[in-house]
Chains A and B, each alone.
Chain A
């Protein structure tokens, strides 16, 4: 039971740490760290969103960067036309990402396996090329956000309110994902991942469950894009690049696919490691690449899985085969 205690301690610890960041950063007069960690929080939200589709749903989506990009442009486009209201940005963001996730999901879920990976990639690429072609909205160069999202007196363009908002959103998403595991929808979804035929046999439609999960996943991912656009005051088609989708997948798997804390840890470690390695050498990818390969070879329980194993380490036995993603 010690491992369970370990695990349930992770999330509160993480969030306590995140909450402390602005105060510590101010104390040491390095406000840079607030925006650095804000970025981590934003990617943690995106990774959590992906985790819903990938970890819970078993859908290997190689196109989630599409939704992040949509969220960013949901801020940049209205701002370009002078609309600064955060509510408008948010509404546009949720509506756009949900609708597009619905479309993408409906078509993609007709396929599976390799074809599913490819078609989600294709949709992200289509989004990328569409945005590149919109010259009046910056095209290749990206679009500076003329007016950041205003929610009443709160301006998300300012680093501290942004950080606070991102933290709250991540907390809510994480809490919801935790609740979802035991909720009917979550159980059915995870059941569909393990054996769709069985789920269908008991009267639930696996495909419909997955579509719902995909849409919600897309909407949450879109929100992370909205926050990102406010952080950078910039929206760019390159945020829809397939490499971004790939990085999100790495974050989810690195942290622990299908777990609650996994995406958050994954984002933290991935971006943190990237920063540390960059400081060591400009050729950090030569180290990072093989690390990812090793991670893939070693097994997919990720960091949360490692934490789980910790109390059992002295036994030095090969871990028992747990169900995928860690129950």
Chain B
């Protein structure tokens, strides 16, 4: 494993981490502020991916596709919030788990019903279809674009939360919803907006992931679990935490998947090493989460509570 290969894998890990961040950002806010366990976040990601795939197929414009994805996810998210989610805020986490579990089943099957079980094909937009020469490798420009988008969102959300009035309301709502309500702020509207923004980010992640991965029913669940791990490691409610944790998890998972088989091949037969390697690398991420939870249950970079 040469240094340049290692650097490329690091970049791959960062790209994966950025995609996780897009999903984690919305999810962690919803968890942290409304204390709502949303297993259907992966479904919003899927909605975004499908919207993007269909729009891109119809119009040929990737920009339109991304906007459509964000719009569709926003719409679905807001509808869900107003009809189902908002009724569950005061209830137990168990009810959240149940309701969103049912939603996951519903969305997966709905998508299959309407568009069939075949994966949809999304082409990488022409302008990003090339490669960049990096450390002697050809690195896909598109993956660079993902990293760029993710960092933009990170900067943008930091600005939103810490530098604007809405952000201030969000932070205040996290600490004391009743008081914010008493100040005349429509907390219900704020919550709906927040949920919608989270959904929108998930839709964006789905649109960006489309050209890389299969757009199909059930595509949200594997990513969802990893996203949940990210926000727990980062600290529920903290967008900064989500960013750092997402990058950590992305890099650990990617490097683990690549390095562990190499290490194991020294001691075991190839197909065994190649099976154990990625599996143990996946375990690594959960192990990391378990350790973090055991030692620092509030996460590595928790949102500051007054």
A and B touching (Cβ–Cβ under 8 A): yes
Are A129 and B98 within 8 A (Cβ)? no
Q: Is the CB of A132 within 8 A of B97?
A: no
Q: Does B88 lie within 8 Å of A130, measured CB to CB?
A: no
A313 at the interface (CB under 8 A from B): no
CA distance A17 to B94 in the complex (A): 31
Choose among A119, A132, A293 the residue with the greatest number of B CB atoms under 10 Å from its CB.
A293
Contact flag A119-B280 (CB < 8 Å), given A136-B272, A253-B98, A283-B113: no
Count B interface residues, CB 8 Å: 49
**Interface membership of B229, Cβ < 8 A:** yes
Contact A283 B37 (CB under 8 A): no
CB distance from B108 to the nearest CB of A (A): 7
Secondary structure dominating the interface of A: helix
Asked if A293 and B232 make an inter-chain contact with CB atoms under 8 angstroms apart, the answer reads: no
CA distance A209 to B31 in the complex (A): 29
A288 to B228, CA, bound (A): 25
The answer to whether the Cβ of B294 comes within 8 Å of any Cβ in the partner chain is: yes
Choice from B99, B225, B283 contacting A292 with Cβ under 8 Å: B99
Contact present for A293 and B293 (CB under 8 Å)? no
- Asked if B87 and A297 make an inter-chain contact with CB atoms under 8 angstroms apart, the answer reads yes
In the assembly, what is the distance between CA of A114 and CA of B101, in Å? 15
Contact B102 A296, beta carbon cutoff 8 Å: yes
B93 near A250: Cβ-Cβ < 8 Å: no
Tell me whether B293 and A135 are in contact (CB under 8 A).
Answer: no
B93 & A289 in contact (Cβ 8 Å cutoff): no
Distance in Å from the Cβ of B252 to the closest Cβ of chain A? 14
**Do residues B232 and A118 form an inter-chain contact, with CB atoms below 8 A?**
yes
Query: Is residue A314 within 8 Å, beta carbon to beta carbon, of the partner chain?
Result: no
Interface stretch (choices A73-81, A105-113, A224-232): A105-113
Which residues in A have their C-beta under 8 angstroms from that of B102? 250, 288-296
Task: From the candidates A118, A139, A290, name the one contacting B229 in the complex (CB within 8 A).
Answer: A118
Shortest beta-carbon distance from B174 to chain A in Å = 14
Cβ proximity bits B85-117 to A, threshold 8 Å, 1 near / 0 not: 001100011111111011111111110110000
Enumerate chain A residues within 8 angstroms of B35, measured Cβ to Cβ. 114
- The reply to whether the CB of A60 lies closer than 8 angstroms to some CB of chain B is yes
Instruction: Please provide the chain A residues from 276 to 293 with a CB less than 8 Å away from any CB of chain B in the complex.
Output: 283-286, 288-293
- Across the interface, B280 reaches (CB within 8 A) one of A117, A133, A295, namely A133
Verify B106–A290 contact, CB threshold 8 A. Answer: yes
Q: Is the CB of A122 within 8 A of B229?
A: yes
- Which A residues are closer than 8 A to B by beta carbons? 54, 60, 62, 107, 110-111, 113-115, 117-119, 121-123, 125-126, 129-130, 132-136, 139-140, 242-243, 246, 249-250, 253, 257, 283-286, 288-297, 300
The 9 sampled A-B contact pairs (Cβ below 8 Å) are A60-B92, A60-B94, A110-B294, A114-B35, A118-B232, A125-B282, A133-B279, A292-B98, A296-B98
Known contacts A249-B97, A285-B106, A300-B92, then 20 further A-B pairs from the complex at CB < 8 Å, ordered by chain A residue = A60-B92, A60-B93, A60-B97, A107-B294, A110-B293, A111-B293, A114-B236, A115-B297, A121-B225, A121-B228, A122-B290, A122-B293, A125-B282, A129-B279, A132-B275, A242-B225, A249-B94, A283-B109, A285-B105, A286-B109
